[in-house]
Structure 1
Amino acid sequence: MKMRRNFLLILLSCALLLGACGIQSGLSAEEAQQTEVANLVAEMMTQQSLDKQKETEEPEKTEEPTPEATETPVPETPTQEVLPTEPAVYSVGPTNFPEDVNPLTGLKVADPSILKRLPIMVKVPNFPAYGRPHGGLSSADIVFETWIGGGSNRFAPLYYGENSDYVWPIRSIRIVDPEIASLYNAVIAFSGGDPVKVMPKIYRIMGDRLFPEGTCPGICDRGSGDVTRLYANTAAITEYFQNAGIDPATRPNLDGMKFSEAVPAGGKPASKVEFHFNYYNKGDWEYDEASGNYLRWIEDAYTYEMIPLVDRNTEEQLAFSNVIMLFVEHVEIETQLIDIKVWGNTAGRRAVIFRNGQAYEAIWKTNDNESPISFYDLEGNPFPLKPGKSWIALTGLNTVENITGDLWHYDFKMP
């Protein structure tokens, strides 16, 4: 606006100069000057008016400073709290056992090749008492305890996932033994048997899967000169059968038992189990919370007080994850000839399973003559044993059971 006014002043000055020249055109100097000035002033006024009107209509725009760009804060996404996951509970069986898992214990073995053999059953006596403490029982996967009559019981340890080089002592075979052994595709190591009343059944069922005394290093004589003189080496027995082509050195099918670390629901407290054949022949189990096992006790041969039953090889008390009472029909043929009906139990009979300080009602079955004993809950589902070793006591159907608090007591009665 100011620039235009300055421009008009310059034009006015020029007009005055021109006016001075207008004297030569016939107008008086004064008239010419007045006329020019009047015209310029009118033009100037008109322009001012227009400029003023424009200023009113369009006010002068002022540039607004451009705001600096700022980052829009992005709200943080709330992180979801990661809750610790519980480790999976170990469970395996009753079928499809991994190559490195022993199907008789549910435990992994360091060397899976040991499972490529037939299990070995060895006949171990509990009497005479000077044959105690026994050797090698703690190395067995399963120990069967049976009544042989005449006030005595006998053990049949089964070795598969572990060997023992000193199973001691060794005694005679009985008519129930081949029925148990065949369930586990086992061979039997023993010392003698009644040639008329026992051995015919043994040969018929077992064939060439028998290992009698007289074949050291499988069964050797320690030179004591009495009925406790013999001991067995299970690795040497396996070697014998494999060299003879009787043991094919492949893994047998031992499906049938289920194992789980999870403690089943529905158990009753059972910190102690007593299994007594008579006053002079007793076996007790006490649950050890620290190890999670049942520890074995036995009567002292002189005082009849209960003392820990240790393994001669380790000098440690026998400890088993599962203790199982199997109710089985017993038929007394003679005083020391007892037919225990293990085969043919497809319908199922009662069992009481002790694990983790609890007692469980269960059913046991032998679904066929060449498959391990199977255990079921009362709804017919496979019952999970605790992974580890099992002690199975075969007792009569009329056995007396007394439960006092967490003490479970059994007095053996046939049949």
Structure 2
Amino acid sequence: MGKRIGVILLLLLLAAVLCACDTAKEAVQASAAPDTPTPEPTATPVPTPTPEPTATPRIPRSNTSGKRLTEDEQPYQPTFISIENHRSARPQSGLMNADIVYEFLIEANYTRFIALFSDDRPCLAGPVRSTRYYLLDEVQEWDAMYGFQGYAQLSGKYRRKLRDYPNVVPGHTREFRRIHLGAKNVHSLYVYLADFITNNYGERSPERHDRFYFEEGIDYADGVSVQRVSLPFTKQAVIDYEYDAAENVFRRYQDGAVFEARIPDAEKEPAEYEIVPVTVKNLIVQFCEYGKVPGENQPGEGKGRRSVELTGCGECAFFIRGKYVKGTWTRETLDDYTRYCLEDGTLVTLEPGNTWIEVLPDNAAWSFAPANAEGAFVPAGAPDAADVQDEPEED
């Protein structure tokens, strides 16, 4: 009996010890620090890219006048006309309707215009006269149609075969008429321009190129304000321009007088016209190398034909909104077109309107007077009578 009781007590003691151990173990586990969860890595924020500023699209404009284009514009059909500048041929018709007018020195002390018409087509342009090889070189870069009367064929590197220029139309088509507006017969050939373009242009569509840009109110803060500009092609052929700040135009003078042009009335006979002073919105002076064609390259003539280099590069003077800005011109080949640039190499920006490009000898002693110059403007006088000669009937 006593032995059984001892066994029971031993078992109870053992159970108590085991229970105490389990309780202590649970207490230790309960008091242990809980596991700290491992934090997820924080994603590095990706910066939102700043959008590039969108370039303001250029307004669709005429590449000849800067006029804003609309969907109903007439087709782009640039057309040149060779226009006389002998004193007996003035005032000429159509010059104030041309988008661009180039002026070149030809023989002796004469200059000649090639007027580019695109946005406006006056009913009449002229007097129409002959071309020169370098006038053809200028027309070529525009891929334009060209009307003229007469051409002296040279040889060697000065030779230009008219059959190689499919867009030239010598003045014997029905759109050319003799109209005597007080001038002698040699200065009486005019062209009915709208008919000339309609009847001869065909389906061609020349490509447009930016030789310069246009923008209303363009201002060159670093430019020099000018009052007048004097451009001597020769000592006897001096062209003057005076800036009219009120109208924002340059007024042209030649032979000591205001240079004028006829604006024919399209609804009336050619003899009815308005005579107005020639004004220019943008004036570009393009300095080029002039020379003389050797005698052996102008057989049987001896008329002192000139040469002009229109490829390569050279200096320019831009006169825009009464400011003079320096620049350059470049044209790699005759198949290329001329780019007129500022000194930083960007295309010059002109004021919308007409542009006259004076292709001046690069050794000409040209000058300008600043806007604050003292003294009244006195244009160069007329040449002496001995220096004035009539041009021959045929060139």
Spell out the pairing of 1:205-220 with structure 2 (5 A cutoff).
205-206=164-165, 208-217=166-175, 219-220=176-177
Spell out the pairing of 1:6-405 with structure 2 (5 A cutoff).
92=58, 98=60, 101-109=61-69, 112-117=72-77, 119-127=78-86, 129-197=87-155, 200-203=159-162, 205-206=164-165, 208-217=166-175, 219-222=176-179, 226-242=185-201, 245=202, 247-248=203-204, 250=205, 252-261=207-216, 262-299=218-255, 305-313=256-264, 314-333=274-293, 335-343=303-311, 345=312, 348-405=313-370
Q: Secondary structure at the match of 1:167?
A: coil
Kindly tell me the number of residue pairs found equivalent between the two proteins: 299
Letter in 2 for 1:352: A
Normalised by the length of structure 2, the TM-score is: 0.69
Q: Deviations over 1:143-165 (max 9, x none)?
A: 00001021111111011111121
| Alpha-carbon spacing, 1:400–1:358, altered in 2? closer, same or farther (3 Å) | same
**Rounded Cα–Cα distance in structure 1 between residues aligned with 2:287 and 2:229:** 15
**Rounded Cα–Cα distance in structure 2 between residues aligned with 1:397 and 1:91:** 37
**Rounded Cα–Cα distance in structure 1 between residues aligned with 2:67 and 2:225:** 25
**Rounded Cα–Cα distance in structure 2 between residues aligned with 1:153 and 1:111:** 38
Higher Rg of the two aligned structures: 1
Which stretch shows the higher mean deviation, 369-378 or 138-147?
369-378
**Rounded Cα–Cα distance in structure 1 between residues aligned with 2:335 and 2:320:** 26
Residue ranges of structure 2 left out of the alignment (5+ in a row): 1-55, 265-273, 295-302, 381-395
CA contact (8 A) 1:257 1:373 kept: no
**Rounded Cα–Cα distance in structure 2 between residues aligned with 1:162 and 1:387:** 14
Q: Using the TM superposition, give the Cα deviation of residue 173 of structure 1 relative to its aligned residue in structure 2, in angstroms.
A: 0.8
Residue ranges of structure 1 left out of the alignment (5+ in a row): 1-89, 300-304, 411-415
Q: Secondary structure at the match of 1:392?
A: strand
CA contact (8 A) 1:324 1:351 kept: yes
**Rounded Cα–Cα distance in structure 1 between residues aligned with 2:253 and 2:368:** 19
Q: Secondary structure at the match of 1:311?
A: strand
Q: Using the TM superposition, give the Cα deviation of residue 175 of structure 1 relative to its aligned residue in structure 2, in angstroms.
A: 0.9
Which stretch shows the higher mean deviation, 132-141 or 187-196?
187-196
Percent identity over the alignment? 20
Letter in 2 for 1:221: R
Letter in 1 for 2:178: D
Which stretch shows the higher mean deviation, 253-262 or 377-386?
253-262
Normalised by the length of structure 1, the TM-score is: 0.66
Q: Deviations over 1:105-140 (max 9, x none)?
A: 1112577442332x111111111x121011100011
Q: Secondary structure at the match of 1:138?
A: helix
Which stretch shows the higher mean deviation, 139-148 or 224-233?
224-233
Which stretch shows the higher mean deviation, 176-185 or 334-343?
334-343
